[in-house]
Structure 1
Amino acid sequence: MLGASGVGKTSLTCQFTTSEYICAYDTSLDEEFGQKTVSVMLDGREAELEIVDHPASEMSVESYCTTYNPDVFVVVYSVVDRKSLKVAEDILLFLWKGDYVASRGVILVGNKADLERKREVPMAVGRKLANSCGCKFIETSSGLDHNVDELLVGILAQVQLNPRRDKDRLRREKKQKVRMGSGRRILRHLLGIKRKSRSCENLLVL
């Protein structure tokens, strides 16, 4: 779990671990950060996920990546805090430059969607950012337990898709070696433009 302070990473993590409603805006939850294990059932198979949640002030994104080397990055921002979106954008840029987006699942999460009257970040803006970075996107509300289960299942699905992601990457690299990339292809790569558009909101597929 990555993102600015106060966006609800710990609230989401706590909600992952229980089917009961929790008061997501209870400030005492801020002391519940750390590593938690969650059991998830998908397609009749049970799996255990280890969710790593550290305060943004305690660990940089670079240290987080090298320390834990996670299978999936969940980058959270608050839809009522435009500054938190900029933090999320910077994190996504780091992950993209470090080739994590190509080799690992990355999900951009707009949390606190229940606070509609205070919204500063339209859903379309979050979706556009996810599309530009080639990652997945979902809006959640840990306060109303909205889309929390969908996010958790999506995290597991993206973990399970990593072997296919690696195969696709190797196949693309072989094609690039054969074709010796034209200037146009290089430009496409630098701008992050993808030839085939994929739904960023279907967390169950690549």
Structure 2
Amino acid sequence: MADDSYEEECDYLFKAVLIGDSAVGKSNLLSRFSNDEFRLDSKPTIGVEFAYRNVKIADKIIKAQIWDTAGQERFRAITSSYYRGALGALLVYDITRRATFDNVKKWLRELREFGNLDMVVVLVGNKCDLGQSREVDEEEGKNLAESEGLCFMETSALENLNVEAAFLQMIGKIHEITSQKCLEAKTNETRTSLQRGKEIISIDEVTATKQQYSTCCYK
């Protein structure tokens, strides 16, 4: 499904961001997706980091550029600037810490303030391997996602559960929207060209008639 070669030529470059409170597992989700790695000693992200991964969807090679943003409040001014130009986002909370779920709407407001209006957002409830410590029911995550018009998935970076699926859902949806926009742009361009073509023909016909009339008059 994917090719990790950075040098491979791609048809599209999609920028996406990982956002959410500190210590919800954003960095491990990204390292699991990009390198199939999990770090038990993962430290908080300072500012912003990013990774690439090439994904094949239909007959297109898509280079996904995923930015991992810091969850701490003191980095918010830095990280919010990275929302611009992002076509997608994984908004992550920790199912074992209700406070991280309660903050989802705050992150969503920030994303909608600084990001694109048609950005694809997947709400991710991470650490579902810790079901015995669960504080947020899966149904709550689904209901919130549905009310806000988001995609939803629970994941475990530790057990590599649904990590690939969450990223691919986002990338696939971005590709779908991008393809539709390209198709609409081409359709509009064709219509414009046809309209312009008609105008040119019309003008040429009038000009040609005038020239013939003038020639006759001067004979």
1:159 to partner: Cα distance: 1.7
Contact 2:53 2:63 in 1 (8 A): yes
Count of matched residue positions in the alignment of Structure 1 and Structure 2: 162
| Long gaps (5+) in structure 2 | 1-17, 183-219
Partner of 1:148 in structure 2?
Answer: 163
Choose from 30, 36, 42 the match for 1:28. 42
- Where relative contact order (Cα < 8 A, 6+ residues apart) is larger, the structure is 1
Q: Deviations over 1:73-95 (max 9, x none)?
A: 11000000100001212112344
Partner of 1:5 in structure 2?
Answer: 22
| Long gaps (5+) in structure 1 | 168-206
Q: Does residue 29 of structure 2 align to residue 15 of structure 1?
A: no
Q: Does residue 103 of structure 2 align to residue 83 of structure 1?
A: no
Contact 2:80 2:110 in 1 (8 A): no
Contact 1:105 1:158 in 2 (8 A): yes
Partner of 2:129 in structure 1?
Answer: 114
Choose from 62, 71, 75 the match for 2:87. 71
Partner of 2:57 in structure 1?
Answer: 42
The normalised TM-score by structure 1 is: 0.69
Q: Deviations over 1:12-67 (max 9, x none)?
A: 00001124xx345x12354696111111122243211111012112532x753433
CA separation of 1:23 and 1:13: change in aligned 2, threshold 3 A: closer
RMSD across aligned positions (CA):
2.6
Partner of 1:92 in structure 2?
Answer: 108
Structure-1 separation of matches of 2:44 and 2:94: 16
The normalised TM-score by structure 2 is: 0.65
1:163 to partner: Cα distance: 3.7
Partner of 1:176 in structure 2?
Answer: none
Structure-2 separation of matches of 1:122 and 1:115: 12
Contact 2:80 2:114 in 1 (8 A): no
Contact 1:111 1:141 in 2 (8 A): yes
Q: Does residue 139 of structure 2 align to residue 139 of structure 1?
A: no
- Helix, strand or coil: the match of 1:149? helix
1:68 to partner: Cα distance: 4.0
Percentage identity across aligned positions? Answer: 24
Larger radius of gyration: 2
Structure-2 separation of matches of 1:102 and 1:129: 19
CA separation of 1:94 and 1:164: change in aligned 2, threshold 3 A: farther
1:115 to partner: Cα distance: 0.5
CA separation of 1:159 and 1:64: change in aligned 2, threshold 3 A: farther
Contact 1:89 1:129 in 2 (8 A): no
